[in-house]
């Protein structure tokens, strides 16, 4: 892992380091100087160098946000920058790369959705989470999945687009972290103990899992949440062949939280992957759920998945249920948890009433 940011690989930005700039045009240099002077620590603000030390993610995001407003889009490609990470945020076993290879266009740190910059989404929490119920065979609510959504007063956006844009500019670690904290605090405010909280996360954004997850574990403790009520769910966009994934699972489990694997039954989340990672919750993809009551091939797959999960005491959760007939078959097959529009869409306030089916 290099001590420099590599934009082309969608590597996550780190929480501390130094940003350096290079620009030929005097007006661009002036804009850079002004932004640095406004945001830098006192010992750095009077420097004539085009660089700024940052001690946390907020400082870096404020700088990027300000430059995205001040530097015209047509000029952002002619400004070069280099981000050198603080030693504590770099893998000590990694080899350094030549300094001259680390310069990237400033434009590669810029991204926006609906006219709002990605740093502003993160800094000002221009998003929230909605809760979709997860139910037991009797229809009683067992938990909720927390899903990223726009704030009511904000322009609409597609959550997948926000996360993908953040990933391309290296800010997915900061976005993912903010979303986890919002979900934990929302759950503590609205849900009683014993209610499971399924929260998505991006393992690929954890450049140092112990460091990146610390604020998540702190939020769990600060809110008085039982770690056993938290279920962290690997996002469906994540590569499941990442060799670091078992170690990330181990870190979560040491803190007493549970893990879930999403979209099981797709090309990536295969039964072999389930066997290897042994998640606490196995979320069966909708393609096996849709009209499963009418399809013997789907029924055979459901039986195989239940058998595999039982080997390591994994709990199967069927996603995307829309028809009572699907629910009836899945209950008969032995699936213990269910989620889908049949039981309710994601809402800003949790739906507490059980669904009206026997």
Q: What is the CATH number of the domain that holds 93?
A: 3.30.70
**Last residue in a domain, options 55, 78, 110:** 110
Tell me which of 111 and 235 has the higher pLDDT: 111
pLDDT digits (tens, 9 = 90+) for 48-58: 579 999 999 99
In the 8-state DSSP scheme, what is residue 226? -
* Residue 22, pLDDT above cutoff 80: yes
Average pLDDT over residues 91-120: 78
pLDDT of 17 reads 94
* Residue 230, pLDDT above cutoff 90: yes
* Residue 84, pLDDT above cutoff 60: yes
CB 234 within 8 A of CB 240: yes
pLDDT of 358 reads 42
Separation CA 176–CA 148 (nearest Å): 10
One domain, residues 189 and 91: no
One domain, residues 185 and 234: yes
Separation CA 245–CA 254 (nearest Å): 14
pLDDT category at 200 given cuts 50, 70, 90 is: very high
Cβ density class 235-259: b for 16+ within 10 Å, e for less: bbebebeeeebeebbeebeeeebbb
Average pLDDT over residues 20-32: 92
One domain, residues 308 and 179: yes
Q: Position of tokens 């005491």?
A: 313
Cα 105 to Cα 112, 113, 130, 169, distances in angstroms: 16, 20, 36, 11
Instruction: Indicate whether 37 belongs to any domain.
Output: yes
How is residue 343 written in tokens?
A: 């039981």
Instruction: Indicate whether 295 belongs to any domain.
Output: yes
* Residue 236, pLDDT above cutoff 80: no
Question: Which distant-in-sequence residues (6+ apart) come within 8 Å of 254 by Cβ?
Answer: none
Separation CA 159–CA 167 (nearest Å): 12
Tell me which of 292 and 208 has the higher pLDDT: 292
Instruction: Indicate whether 135 belongs to any domain.
Output: yes
CATH number at residue 125: 3.20.20.450
The percent of residues above 70 in pLDDT, for the chain, comes to: 90
pLDDT of 48 reads 56
pLDDT category at 7 given cuts 50, 70, 90 is: low
Least confident interval from 55-59, 124-128, 149-153: 149-153
Average pLDDT over residues 58-74: 94
One domain, residues 141 and 93: no
Question: Which distant-in-sequence residues (6+ apart) come within 8 Å of 332 by Cβ?
Answer: none
pLDDT category at 95 given cuts 50, 70, 90 is: very low
Largest CA distance in the chain: 73
One domain, residues 149 and 227: yes
Q: What is the mean pLDDT of the chain?
A: 89
| Closest by CA position to 195, among listed 254, 145, 239, 248 | 145
One domain, residues 83 and 130: no
Average pLDDT over residues 276-284: 95
- Count of structural domains, the chain: 2
One domain, residues 211 and 264: yes
pLDDT category at 60 given cuts 50, 70, 90 is: very high
Least confident interval from 34-48, 102-116, 237-251, 297-311: 34-48
| Closest by CA position to 323, among listed 307, 338, 306, 305 | 338
pLDDT category at 237 given cuts 50, 70, 90 is: confident
| Range of the structural domain that residue 79 is part of | 7-110
Instruction: Indicate whether 203 belongs to any domain.
Output: yes
One domain, residues 92 and 241: no
One domain, residues 123 and 19: no
Average pLDDT over residues 187-209: 92
Q: What is the DSSP string of 134-154?
A: EE-TTS-EEEEEEEEEE-TTS
Phi-psi region of 228 (alpha: psi -120 to 50; beta: other; left: phi over 0): alpha
Instruction: Indicate whether 320 belongs to any domain.
Output: yes
Instruction: Indicate whether 193 belongs to any domain.
Output: yes
One domain, residues 29 and 159: no
**Last residue in a domain, options 110, 141, 174:** 110
Instruction: Indicate whether 1 belongs to any domain.
Output: no
pLDDT of 243 reads 81
Please, which residues bridge with residue 17 across strands? 54, 85
CB 175 within 8 A of CB 162: yes
pLDDT category at 1 given cuts 50, 70, 90 is: very low
Instruction: Indicate whether 332 belongs to any domain.
Output: yes
One domain, residues 198 and 296: yes
**Last residue in a domain, options 86, 110, 134:** 110
One domain, residues 241 and 303: yes
pLDDT of 354 reads 52
pLDDT of 126 reads 93
């Amino acid at each position: 892992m290099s001590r420099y940011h590599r934009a082309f690989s969608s590597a996550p930005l780190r929480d501390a380091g130094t940003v350096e700039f290079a620009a030929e045009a005097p007006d661009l240099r002036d804009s850079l100087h002004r932004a640095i002077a406004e945001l830098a620590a006192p010992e750095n603000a009077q420097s004539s160098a085009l660089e700024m030390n940052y001690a946390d993610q907020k400082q870096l995001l404020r700088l990027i946000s300000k430059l995205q407003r001040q530097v015209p889009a047509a000029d952002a490609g002619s400004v070069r920058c280099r981000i050198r990470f603080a030693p504590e945020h770099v893998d000590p076993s990694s080899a350094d790369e030549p300094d001259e290879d680390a310069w990237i266009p400033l434009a590669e740190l810029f991204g926006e959705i609906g006219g709002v910059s990605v740093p502003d989404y993160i800094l000002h929490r221009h998003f929230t989470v909605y809760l979709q119920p997860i139910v037991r065979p009797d229809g009683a609510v067992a938990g909720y999945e927390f899903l990223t959504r726009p704030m009511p007063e904000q322009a609409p956006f597609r959550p997948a687009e926000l996360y993908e844009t953040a990933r391309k500019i290296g800010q997915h670690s900061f976005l993912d972290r903010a979303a986890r904290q919002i979900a934990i605090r929302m759950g503590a405010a609205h849900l009683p103990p014993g209610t499971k909280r399924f929260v998505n996360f991006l393992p690929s954004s954890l450049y140092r899992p112990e460091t990146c997850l610390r604020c998540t574990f702190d939020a769990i403790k600060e809110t008085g949440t039982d770690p056993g009520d938290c279920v962290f769910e690997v996002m469906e966009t994540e590569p499941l062949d990442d060799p670091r994934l078992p170690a990330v699972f181990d870190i979560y489990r040491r803190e007493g939280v549970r893990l879930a694997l999403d979209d099981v039954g797709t090309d990536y989340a295969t039964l072999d992957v389930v066997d290897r990672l042994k998640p606490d919750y196995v979320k069966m993809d909708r393609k096996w759920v849709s009209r499963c009551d009418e399809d013997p091939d789907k029924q055979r797959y459901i039986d195989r998945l239940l058998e595999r999960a039982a080997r390591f005491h994994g709990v199967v959760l069927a996603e995307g249920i829309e028809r009572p007939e699907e629910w009836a078959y899945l209950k008969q097959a032995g699936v213990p948890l269910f989620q889908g529009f049949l039981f309710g869409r994601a809402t800003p306030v949790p739906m507490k009433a059980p669904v009206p089916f026997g």
